Every structure is written in structure tokens, then in C-alpha cells.
Amino acid sequence: MGDESVLQTKQFPLLTFYKKGEAKTCVFWDLNDYPIPSGVHPASLCESIKDAIWKQHIDGDVSIHAYVDASEPEYQDAGFQLQVFPESEGGKHTRNCAMVADMAIWAVINPTPCNVIILAKVTDVFLATHVRSCCTRIYGQGRAPAQSDSTFLTCIFHQRRGPRVPAQK
């Protein structure tokens, strides 16, 4: 996809970083669409995600908003900002709507530069349009280069490889 705009191609790479340095990063994660692998503790995964983002030369705060249909105590203990939406209360559609609303709020509270990672299968066209709209507000100017690091997901699940050291400026 090169330097084409995400908004032009309407293709959202799974993981894309637009701003490096002190930029904040927020992960919006539907744990039903992309569950934590069995045997992996949420706290270690949370640290692995932060380390993987740090390895991309992003030193700002990282927050993880997680959406799920059944609560597990380890999720909140790990530092996830958790919202629970049982299937009986709308399930996936409700999780996606909450995610879009949270993205819009996050975009207002956190001015650019910032990064967003969306781990969700948003198949509803209406909601996908709103996700794109939120991304426009988050990235500003309606332009976001569509660059993706294919090794990111695999490095999330690797063990930590040394202490976190901020990038030199």
C-alpha cells in the first residue's frame, strides 16, 4: 500500500504506526474476535504489547481498551480497561458500537500525534465507516500513511528481551 492514504484505499492494515517518539498509543481490542491464547497470562501479554510498541520507537503511554462477552478477573488485573457485553445484551454489535464510541472519545481527549491499534473484526459497513471517521479525527488532516509491520503480532507473544530503554532524542 506504500504511502497511500488509508482513507483512499479503504483498507485498514491490522497494525500501523503513524507517529514515533512521545506519541500515545491506544489498543482497542475485541477479545472475542482475537482471544488471548490459552496458556498466556493477560498481564504478560499486556507487557509484551507495550514492549512491542516500544520496539517501534514509540515512547508514549500505552492503554488497552478491551471488549469481551464474559469478564475474567485477570483482564482488569493486567491493566486492561475492560467492558463486558454478554451475548444476551447485543454481543458483537454492542462491543463494536462501544469500541467506536470509545475511539471517538479517545480522539477528542488525546490530540495528535497518537497511534491506534484496532484488534477487531468490524464487518458491519456502517460501523466500519464510523471507525474510518474516528481514524480521521485521531490522525488529523484526513491522511494516514498505510504502513504495516508484519512482525508486530508475532513479537507480541514473545518473551520480553531485556529492559525497556527510551529512544535517544
Query: How do residues 141-161 score in pLDDT, each as one tens digit?
Result: 333 333 344 444 445 545 444
Query: Where do we find the cell 493477560?
Result: 42
- Domain assignments of the chain as residue spans, ordered by start: 32-149
The Cα–Cα gap between 117 and 168 comes to 24
Name residues whose C-beta falls within 8 Å of residue 161's C-beta, 6 or more positions apart in sequence. 51
Query: How do residues 51-81 score in pLDDT, each as one tens digit?
Result: 888 887 888 889 999 999 888 888 888 888 9
Q: What is the pLDDT of residue 5?
A: 38
Q: What are phi and psi of 156, to 5 degrees?
A: -60, -35
Query: Where do we find the cell 474510518?
Result: 132
- For the entire predicted model, the pTM comes to 0.71
Q: What is the pLDDT of residue 63?
A: 92
Q: What is the pLDDT of residue 2?
A: 41
Q: What is the pLDDT of residue 10?
A: 42
Name residues whose C-beta falls within 8 Å of residue 68's C-beta, 6 or more positions apart in sequence. 30, 31, 32, 75, 82, 83, 84, 85, 95
